[in-house]
Structure formats: C-alpha cells, structure tokens
C-alpha cells in the first residue's frame, strides 16, 4: 500500500483537502482542532478510483512546525503539494518543496486549492507561479489540478491524478531488512505499547522478535495493523501500527527505529553527498553544527567538509556527518539538514557509507574518488568500490556496510565473483582481482616503514604486521608467502624483514657495544642485571645483542654473555656425566657464581631440554641436545 504526504504553506487547506478526499479529518490533537491549525502529523487513508488504498500523512505547514513535517515525509512514495489559489507560492511552499526534492520525492501532484475564492484570470497567474516553482526540477511535469475542498470541485480529477502518479511508482522492494522509524509511540488500553510509522525495506510478521535502535533492546510483535485493519504481515511501504510486548512506551521516542534483528548496527559517523539548498540563508563552513533529519529521527551533528572549506548555497560536496548520538541508516538513504538557529532548512543529500570506520583526512584525492563512486551506486556497485579501495572485504563487513542480511550480501559477492569483479578467498573473504599485488605492496611498504623506524631490530613481528594491516590470518600468511616467493621479504622465526636486511651499527654504536661487553667480561659470572645493561646501551642496542645471540637472556633478572652461557652448559653437562646429579649449591660452586645466577642457568637448561629437575637436583636428559638452544 503506497503512502503519500501533503506539503505546503500554513492555511493553504491541506487538512481540509485530506478530509474532503477521505472523509477523515487528520487533525487528532484537541489543540489543533481548537486553533484550526495542524501542528503535528495527522493520518488518513484514501480509496482510489481503481480500489487501491493509499495512506495519507498530513503535515503541518507553519514554519514553527517544519521539524514535525520532516518526521512524516521520510519513506513516502509521492507527495500532494497544496497551494492556495488566493495566495500562491509562499515561503513554506518553497521550503516544503525543497525538502521533497532534497529527499528525491519526485512523484507528486500539485493541488491548486481554494479556486472558489478567485477568478479565472487570478487562477491562471497563480498556476503560472506554481509552474515556475516546478520548472527545472524533477516535478517539472507534475499535474497541477485546480480544486476546492469547500465546494469539492476537482476532487475526482485530483484522485485520478494521484492514481496515475502512484501507478508509475515502482513497488517497494523487500530487501529482508524491515525497519520502521517511529513517528508515534503510545499506550492503547487492552493492548499496551503501540508504535506507528512507514515500513521500509521488508516485512514484519506477528510473533517476530524485533530490535529497537539506538538502545538495542529487544521486543516482540503482538499484533499488526495497517489502515486500521489487523494483518498478520505488514508489507514494505505501508503505514503500520505495531503492538509491542516487552517494552514500555516511555522507553521509546519519535525517531527510534524498529528493525529485524541482526542486520543494523548503530553508527555515529556517516559519509555523505551533501547538497546545500540554494534558499539557505548563509554559507556552510567546515565543522558547522547542524540538525540531522533521517526518517523521523532528529539529531544534533557536526559537518566535516572533505573537499572544501566552505559550501555555498546552491553547491554540492562530499562530507562526513559526526552525530551527537548513534542512529541506524543504510547506504542510499536520504537525509535533511537544518540550521539550529535560526531554524531553517540548510540542505540534504544521500548517505554513502554508514560505517566508514574512521574520520577521513580532508582533501585526499583517493578518499574523494571513492566517495564520488559511491554516489547513486547500487549495492553491487558499492561492493566493487569498497573492494577496489580496500582490496579485501569480509562477509560480515559487507553485510554491515550495506545494511543487508548476510545471505543477501553473500549473493551479491558471489555474483561479482562470477563476473570476475571479485575473487573468493574462502572463509567468508573476498578480494579485488589484483589483491595479491596490492597485498604484497602494502605488506612490503609496512615492513620498510618498520625498518626505517626501528633500524636496530632484526625484523617486524609477524603478529604486529598482521594486526596493523587488519587482515585475517589466512590472508596475511598468503601475502607473506607471496612476498617471500616474489623476492621482496624473508622470514626469521616470528619476524619478517626485507630480503637481505641486516642490522648495521655505526662506529659510535659499535664502540658503545664493545665497551659494554668488555665490562661484562671483566667478571662474566657476576654480570650486571638486564636493566643496568639496557640503561648503558639503550633498549635498541640491548635488543640487537640479544637478537644476534651475543647475550643470552636467562630470565627477567639474569643475562649472560653467549660464551659464558656456553661454558656453563659444558661444565654442568660434564659434571652430570660424571656424577649423575647436581644441586643449585653445587652448580654455584662449580661455576664460581651466585646462587641466583646458578639457579637461572639450571632453569634455562631445563627449559631448553638439557636437564630435568628431580626434587632438589637436576639430571641430564639423554638426547641429541647441544645445549646451545636459547
């Protein structure tokens, strides 16, 4: 069932026209009826000449209530723009119409209302005024129907025009990600919590569990109504009332979202294509504070302009919206921005990426190129762009960034694989066709940068490299193998390094090392502790001696010269071969060292498989060990 919304200036007769068309007066608040002015959303439904039922959202026209109007026009199929023939195009006519075009609501009919109050000549002038408003927009060919809500003249033609416009609207797709932006939440006696809104992108069914965003709470659907009829299933695009169990109305507010579980994740940073409305009163500077409207949601936000310092009225550009609190959205969704003060529509545009992952550096050509490619892209094209940009894409990431169920995301990735646009690496991972070359380049650049920053390290720890690249283990190891086979890298245990890379000490460093080793050789069985050696050499030079095996770390408290460690092993081995066992005290006396160092030597020999502790003594393990493992 399609949904249309009214639009237009205050007192141009929107509510009266809805009542004349439907027999339902949409003003539901007592204050509205007393003042005879709509201040919040009203609802009705119309049976078209062909028997189809259409939902109507009646919006307030007064400038003070445009933000209530915005809560009603998200997700509509078409609009009914109402212009009073006795006044013509007025300020809120222009602002409401700008909002419709920014939201790309391009299907609509103009009702030239109150024709009973003017003569033919005046009516023709006003109609030309309306045509001038529509000229050059997607409404340029919209029908303009003269009507009178009071005399009912033209109502039949208006209903037929609405029917014709709606027939040209494509049916709402079921993308498997049902979501509804709440425009009302209340308690109904005998039922409990009820929320209403326009259902998008999927179906809700009685008995299903749903998620409420941004809180993430769960609830269950007790009942569904569409146009006051109970249904077991609500369809995409329909006005829907949901009776929820497990949540109280005070825990809900206008702008919260009801969604199917497991698809959406809240976001606080959005990549967008931004249009600054030509009727906006002033330029938009970088990091300006704005109000962000999406569905029925309203959130304070900041605008990070990515391709300029200032966006002038009438211009468009690329930006990031930094939200003051999280919401949910999907790529391709439309949004509206307003100035907080004075309150006025600023512009709007298209959401390009709901999970960009980070704040982009401004004025970066590669960032701007990627975002331009996402503008007006479908889901498959978005995946191509992300693959080309990042090289790799996991199924969970594709599902999250597309805001699609994993099954739908997998179908799209498999289709791209069949087209040769993506390569499946298994384990829920896809890559761009040139992924291996790009992966080798990224990996070698990372290792080269590590060498520049750490010239005294033998290489980069593999896990640090994998973590910094953010790749799954299988992809990382495959890239390492490819880089080694290609002659770019080599490995050394847990380290990877540029092929042929060796630590080179300058003359001053070499002198510093030799001086330190000479001091240790003066009394090798009573060496300084590691902290003292590190203080003398610095952390990097100390690590070089450990990496090269010139020093052997026994534990956190004891380091020996390599030749001292080797001599200790040979003496203790000979002692054990002759006597069978050795105690810590005997090892101390044998080596002429302290008990602390003797115990550290014995524990290290245990650890590398030369000896085994039995009670308070050690015995030799029979085997091929050399005693030089460190």
Rounded distance between C-alpha atoms, residue 481 and residue 489, angstroms: 9
Structure tokens given for 496: 């990877």
The candidate with the shortest Cα–Cα distance to 243, out of 295, 206, 199, is 206
Please list the helix, strand and coil fractions of the chain in percent, rounded to the nearest 5, in that order: 35, 30, 35
Contact 348, 272 (CB under 8 A): no
Contacts of 580 (CB under 8 A, 6+ apart): 619, 620
HSE of 34, CA atoms in CB hemisphere, 13 A: 3
Residue appearing with tokens 């009829």? 229
Cβ-based burial of 525 (10 A; exposed 0-12, middle 13-18, buried ≥19)? middle
Rounded to the nearest 10°, the torsion over CA 458, 464, 469, 474 is: 100
Please report where in the chains the tokens 């949601």 appear, as a residue. 297
Spatial contact of 355 and 382, defined as CB atoms under 8 Å apart: no
User: What local confidence, expressed as pLDDT, does residue 30 receive?
Assistant: 65
Q: What is the dihedral of CA 11, 14, 20, 26, to 10 degrees?
A: -110
Residue 327 burial (CB count, 10 A): 24
φ, ψ of residue 416 in degrees (nearest 5): -65, -35
Helix H or strand E segment including 153:
none
* CA-wise closest residue to 68 among 237, 293, 258: 293
For position 457, what pLDDT does the model report?
Answer: 87
Q: Give the separation between CA 403 and CA 176, rounded to whole angstroms.
A: 10
Q: How far apart are CA 212 and CA 266, in angstroms?
A: 11
Find out whether 311 and 304 touch, Cβ atoms under 8 Å. Answer: no
Sheet with 460-461, edge to edge strand ranges: 460-461, 495-498, 489-492
Q: How far is it, in rounded angstroms, from Cα 136 to Cα 132?
A: 9
Tokens 């494509």, located at residue: 170
> What was the pLDDT predicted at 342?
87
552 contacts 562 by C-beta, under 8 angstroms: yes
Nearest to 282 by CA among 311, 302, 308: 311
pLDDT of residue 629: 43
Residues β-bridged to residue 230: 225
Measure CA of the first residue to CA of the last residue in the chain; give whole Å.
75
- Mean pLDDT in runs of 10 for the chain (630 residues)? 92 94 83 70 92 91 81 92 97 96 97 97 96 97 97 97 94 95 93 94 97 95 92 95 95 96 96 97 97 96 98 98 97 97 94 96 96 97 93 91 97 95 86 89 95 91 93 85 92 92 90 93 94 90 88 94 96 95 96 95 94 94 52
Packing angle, helices 462-469 and 435-453, rounded to 10: 120
pLDDT at 163: 96
For each of the domains in the chain, give its residue range(s) and CATH number, in order of start: 3-167 (3.40.50.300), 179-259 (2.40.30.10), 267-371 (2.40.30.10), 377-431 (1.10.10.10), 435-498 (1.10.10.10), 507-620 (1.10.10.10)
How far from 617 is each of 515, 568, 572, 574, 625, CA to CA, in Å? Answer: 37, 16, 12, 15, 20
3-state secondary structure of 424: strand
Euclidean distance between CA atoms 551 and 559, whole angstroms? 7
Rounded distance between C-alpha atoms, residue 625 and residue 360, angstroms = 55
DSSP bridge partners of 319? 272, 305
Q: What is the pTM of this model?
A: 0.78
> What are the phi and psi torsion angles at 163 (to 5°)?
-60, -45
């Amino acid at each position: 069932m399609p949904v249309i919304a009214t639009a237009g200036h205050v007192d141009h007769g929107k509510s009266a026209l809805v009542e004349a068309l439907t027999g339902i007066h949409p003003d539901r608040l007592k204050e509205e009826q007393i003042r005879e002015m709509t201040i919040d959303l009203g609802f009705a439904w119309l049976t078209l000449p062909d028997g189809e039922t259409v939902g109507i959202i009646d919006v307030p026209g007064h400038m003070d209530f445009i933000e209530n109007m915005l809560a009603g026009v998200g997700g509509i199929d078409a609009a009914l723009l109402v212009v009073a023939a006795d006044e013509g195009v007025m300020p809120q006519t222009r602002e409401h119409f700008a909002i419709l075009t920014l939201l790309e609501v391009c299907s609509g009919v103009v009702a030239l209302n109150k024709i009973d109050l003017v003569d033919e000549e005046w009516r023709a002038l006003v109609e030309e005024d309306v045509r001038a408003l529509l000229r050059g927009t997607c409404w340029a060919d919209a029908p303009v129907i003269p009507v009178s809500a009071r005399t009912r003249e033209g109502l039949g033609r208006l209903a037929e025009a609405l029917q014709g416009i709606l027939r040209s609207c494509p049916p709402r797709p079921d993308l498997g990600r049902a979501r509804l932006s709440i425009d009302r939440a209340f308690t109904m006696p005998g039922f409990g919590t009820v929320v209403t809104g326009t259902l998008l992108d999927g179906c809700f069914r009685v008995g299903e569990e749903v998620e409420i965003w941004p809180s993430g709470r769960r609830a269950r659907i007790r009942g569904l109504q569409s146009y006051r009829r109970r249904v077991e299933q609500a369809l995409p695009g329909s006005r829907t009332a949901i009776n929820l169990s497990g949540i109280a109305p005070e825990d809900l507010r206008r702008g919260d979202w009801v969604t199917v579980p497991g698809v959406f994740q809240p976001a606080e940073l959005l990549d967008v294509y931004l249009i600054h409305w030509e009727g906006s009163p002033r330029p938009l500077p970088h990091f300006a504070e704005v109000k962000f409207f999406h569905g029925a949601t309203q959130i304070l936000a900041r605008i990070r302009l990515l391709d300029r310092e200032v966006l002038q009225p009438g211009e468009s550009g690329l930006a990031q919206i930094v939200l003051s609190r999280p919401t949910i959205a999907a790529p391709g969704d439309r949004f509206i921005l307003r100035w907080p003060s004075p309150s006025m529509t600023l512009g709007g545009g298209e959401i390009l990426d709901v999970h960009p992952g980070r704040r982009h550096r401004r004025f970066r050509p590669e960032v701007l190129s990627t975002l331009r490619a996402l503008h007006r892209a479908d889901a498959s094209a978005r995946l191509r762009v992300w693959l080309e940009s990042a090289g790799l894409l996991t199924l969970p990431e594709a599902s999250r960034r597309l805001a699609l169920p994993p099954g739908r995301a997998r179908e799209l990735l498999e289709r791209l694989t069949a087209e040769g646009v993506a390569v499946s690496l298994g384990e829920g991972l896809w890559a761009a066709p040139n992924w291996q070359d790009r992966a080798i380049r990224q990996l070698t650049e990372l290792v080269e940068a590590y060498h520049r920053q750490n010239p005294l390290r033998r290489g980069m720890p593999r896990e640090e490299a994998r973590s910094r690249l953010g790749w799954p283990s299988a992809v990382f190891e495959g890239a390492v193998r490819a880089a080694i086979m290609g002659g770019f890298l080599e490995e050394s245990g847990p380290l990877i390094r540029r092929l042929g890379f060796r630590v080179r000490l300058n003359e001053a460093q070499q002198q510093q090392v030799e001086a330190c080793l000479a001091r240790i050789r003066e009394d090798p069985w009573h060496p300084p502790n590691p902290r003292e050696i590190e203080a003398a050499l610095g952390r990097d030079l100390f690590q070089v001696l450990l990496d090269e095996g010139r020093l052997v770390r026994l534990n956190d408290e004891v380091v020996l010269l390599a030749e001292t460690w080797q001599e200790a092993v040979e003496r203790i081995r000979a002692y054990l071969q002759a006597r069978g066992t050795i105690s810590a005290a005997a090892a101390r006396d044998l080596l002429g060292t302290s008990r602390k160092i003797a115990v550290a030597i014995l524990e290290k020999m245990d650890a590398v498989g030369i000896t085994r502790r039995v009670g308070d003594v050690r015995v030799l393990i029979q085997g091929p060990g050399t005693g030089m493992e460190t």
